[in-house]
């Protein structure tokens, strides 16, 4: 390590304390590789500031020395947005020590948290006050709320509560020059000028570092009912969705769809999950309805509308969960998709979103085109059909992925099929995972050059020296 990096370590230690700076070596390993092991970077230091003032001081320190800053939450992202690149002068900033729940207000239905707070801890703090924080996703036990905000995370509750953006009332952000944007306000409405906070939500740490947030809480669901439906196709799922809207109205909580191939991949590779129903149709739909009132009989309402759907030939079978254990067993299948896919082969995953009514044709076209181009690919699908967001995943035998160049070419071929079809249906290539490293080339390929130019202008405005999470969203040399 060069002298200048030794000096940097000492300087950073002076700000955050010796034991909160990790020098290059094995202790850094979990911070410079993304969780899927696809991206391996380097860092002069990993630092763990203990306060917003320390974050700002670290950012100023890095700015003065032209060290790149890589904000990292729980390192559970899907696109490598929190992994440093391979330049030696990266400084990874982790907010693990800033994990306080500062305030819960049941009256105002708000919670104020520091950015390093684990998502599950936010959920639990809300629950302890008899309130509900709806953001829920597979990594909730280790992802941090600052990372959720910076990726505008989605998950299984978007249909009813919206993505993370819709849950954020106030934000505190350390900017690239070390100034602090103090928008940490618990206000339900605010029309005092431009919506600056919105820029930082989903910006993947490229415009600043989120250090704290005021989030919305809700009345907790106190009654619920869940059913699993066996379907012939996505169009049937959409028709059932419309019937549900007409009958259970805004009690509709989740609508999660899986292809038969998706469930088979789980059944074959995830030993601790049992599929609690027979696989007899091409598609499976989880319907969950919830009510904020206790004692509402949703089972009967759900059974009625789904029974009618069956009679109308829209569903082949309906399994109503008769108790919490059954409901959990069905959700366990849905929550195992990432694990099952990872165990089944090399994962080429997609996060497209299209207008709701285009989902059936999108899925049909994409599957046919991938199978024609790559006959050995196993195409599995799962997603949030009420959001227009079906993840199309090609699983490739790992034995065929030994050559990196050939694998990269294969991935590009599949990506381009999905992206072209997404664009043809008026969609976007990322619904909820973001851009990071993985999708930056694809973003550039399918996005209106005007939009890219506007985004680069914003990036230059907030980060003129290009030190804030460089190489993410735009690719290298963006700023």
Residues 326-355 that bind a copy of itself (CB under 8 A): 351, 353-355
- Taking CB under 8 A as the criterion, the residue among 141, 249, 307, 441 binding a copy of itself is 249
Q: Among residue numbers 66 through 125, which ones bind a copy of itself (CB under 8 A)?
A: 105-110
- Taking CB under 8 A as the criterion, the residue among 211, 389, 415, 469 binding a copy of itself is 389
What is the pairing mode between strands 90-94 and 252-259? unpaired
CA gyration radius for the chain? 23
Q: Does 403 bind a copy of itself (CB under 8 A)?
A: no
201 and 174 Cβ atoms separated by less than 8 Å = no
Query: What are φ and ψ of residue 6, in 5° steps?
Result: -60, -45
Q: Does 248 bind a copy of itself (CB under 8 A)?
A: yes
The secondary structure of 430-458, three-state, reads: ECCCCCCCCCHHHHHHHCCHHHHHHHHHH
DSSP one-letter string for 71-119: EESSS--SSSTTS--S-TTEEEEE-TT---EEEEETTTTEEEEETT-BH
- Taking CB under 8 A as the criterion, the residue among 58, 113, 158, 330 binding a copy of itself is 158
Of residues 409 and 454, the one with the C-beta less far from a copy of itself:
454
User: Rounded CA gap, 26 and 31, in Å?
Assistant: 10
Name residue, tokens 């978007």.
158
As measured in angstroms, the least distance from the Cβ of 7 to a copy of itself is 30
Of residues 142 and 447, the one with the C-beta less far from a copy of itself:
447
Q: Does 19 bind a copy of itself (CB under 8 A)?
A: no
As measured in angstroms, the least distance from the Cβ of 359 to a copy of itself is 10
Q: Does 255 bind a copy of itself (CB under 8 A)?
A: no
113 and 52 Cβ atoms separated by less than 8 Å = no
As measured in angstroms, the least distance from the Cβ of 116 to a copy of itself is 22
User: Rounded CA gap, 295 and 297, in Å?
Assistant: 6
Of residues 129 and 373, the one with the C-beta less far from a copy of itself:
129
Q: Among residue numbers 256 through 295, which ones bind a copy of itself (CB under 8 A)?
A: 291-293
Name residue, tokens 């009912």.
225
As measured in angstroms, the least distance from the Cβ of 240 to a copy of itself is 11
As measured in angstroms, the least distance from the Cβ of 130 to a copy of itself is 8
Count of Cβ atoms closer than 10 Å to residue 454 Cβ: 11
Q: Does 162 bind a copy of itself (CB under 8 A)?
A: yes
Q: Does 433 bind a copy of itself (CB under 8 A)?
A: yes
- Taking CB under 8 A as the criterion, the residue among 45, 137, 203, 321 binding a copy of itself is 203
As measured in angstroms, the least distance from the Cβ of 371 to a copy of itself is 26
Of residues 365 and 447, the one with the C-beta less far from a copy of itself:
447
As measured in angstroms, the least distance from the Cβ of 193 to a copy of itself is 5
- Taking CB under 8 A as the criterion, the residue among 26, 192, 323, 402 binding a copy of itself is 192
User: Rounded CA gap, 203 and 71, in Å?
Assistant: 11
* Stretch of residues binding a copy of itself (CB under 8 A), selected from 270-278, 307-315, 319-327, 458-466: 458-466
CA atoms within 13 A on the CB side of 71: 32
Tokens linked to 274: 């049992």
Q: Does 375 bind a copy of itself (CB under 8 A)?
A: no
As measured in angstroms, the least distance from the Cβ of 427 to a copy of itself is 7
Q: Does 361 bind a copy of itself (CB under 8 A)?
A: no
180 and 52 Cβ atoms separated by less than 8 Å = yes
DSSP character for 68?
A: E
Q: Does 126 bind a copy of itself (CB under 8 A)?
A: no
* Stretch of residues binding a copy of itself (CB under 8 A), selected from 59-67, 243-251, 309-317, 364-372: 243-251
As measured in angstroms, the least distance from the Cβ of 209 to a copy of itself is 15
Residue 462's SS3 state is: helix
161 and 131 Cβ atoms separated by less than 8 Å = no
Nearest Cα residue to 74 out of 57, 99, 50, 100:
99
Q: Does 166 bind a copy of itself (CB under 8 A)?
A: yes
Which residues are bridge partners to 103 per DSSP? 112
| Span between the terminal Cα atoms of the chain, in Å | 27
Q: Does 441 bind a copy of itself (CB under 8 A)?
A: no
């Amino acid at each position: 390590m060069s002298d200048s990096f030794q000096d940097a370590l000492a300087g950073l230690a002076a700000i955050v304390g010796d034991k909160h700076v990790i020098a290059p070596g094995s202790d850094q390993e979990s911070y410079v590789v993304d969780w899927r092991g696809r991206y391996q970077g380097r860092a002069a230091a990993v630092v763990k500031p203990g306060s917003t003032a320390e974050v700002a001081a670290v950012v100023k320190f890095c700015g003065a020395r032209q060290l790149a800053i890589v904000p990292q939450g729980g390192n559970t992202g899907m696109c490598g947005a929190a992994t440093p690149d391979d330049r030696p002068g990266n400084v990874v900033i982790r907010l693990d020590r800033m994990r306080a729940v500062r305030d819960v207000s049941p009256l105002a239905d708000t919670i104020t948290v520091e950015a390093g707070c684990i998502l599950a801890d936010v959920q639990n703090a809300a629950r302890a006050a008899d309130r509900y924080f709806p953001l829920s996703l597979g990594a909730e036990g280790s992802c941090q709320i600052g990372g959720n905000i910076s990726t505008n995370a989605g998950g299984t509750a978007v249909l009813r509560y919206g993505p993370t953006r819709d849950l954020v009332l106030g934000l505190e952000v350390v900017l690239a020059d070390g100034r602090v944007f103090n928008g940490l306000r618990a206000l339900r409405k605010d029309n005092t000028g431009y919506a600056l906070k919105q820029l930082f939500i989903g910006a993947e740490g490229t415009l600043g570092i989120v250090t704290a947030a005021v989030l919305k809480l809700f009345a907790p669901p106190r009654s619920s009912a869940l059913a699993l439906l066996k379907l012939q196709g996505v169009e049937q799922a959409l028709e059932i969705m419309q019937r549900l809207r007409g009958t259970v109205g805004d009690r509709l909580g989740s609508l999660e769809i899986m292809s038969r191939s998706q469930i088979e991949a789980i059944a074959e590779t995830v030993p601790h999950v049992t599929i609690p129903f027979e696989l007899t149709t091409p598609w499976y739909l989880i319907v969950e309805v919830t009510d904020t009132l206790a004692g509402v009989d949703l089972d009967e309402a759900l059974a009625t509308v789904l029974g009618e759907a069956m009679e109308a030939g829209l569903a082949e079978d309906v399994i109503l969960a008769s108790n919490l254990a059954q409901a959990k067993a069905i959700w366990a299948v849905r929550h195992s998709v990432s694990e099952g896919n990872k165990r089944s082969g090399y994962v080429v995953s997609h996060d497209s979103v299209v207008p709701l009514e285009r989902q059936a044709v999108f899925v049909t076209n994409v599957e046919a085109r991938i199978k024609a181009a790559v006959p050995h690919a196993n195409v599995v699908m799962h997603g949030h059909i009420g959001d227009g967001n079906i993840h199309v995943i090609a699983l490739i035998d790992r034995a065929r992925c030994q050559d990196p160049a050939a694998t990269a070419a294969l991935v590009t071929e599949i990506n381009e099929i999905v992206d072209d079809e997404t664009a043809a249906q008026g969609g976007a290539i990322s619904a909820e995972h973001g851009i990071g490293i993985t999708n930056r080339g694809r973003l550039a390929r399918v996005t209106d050059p005007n939009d890219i130019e506007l985004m680069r202008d914003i990036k230059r405005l907030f980060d003129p020296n290009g030190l804030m999470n460089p190489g993410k969203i735009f690719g290298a040399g963006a700023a």
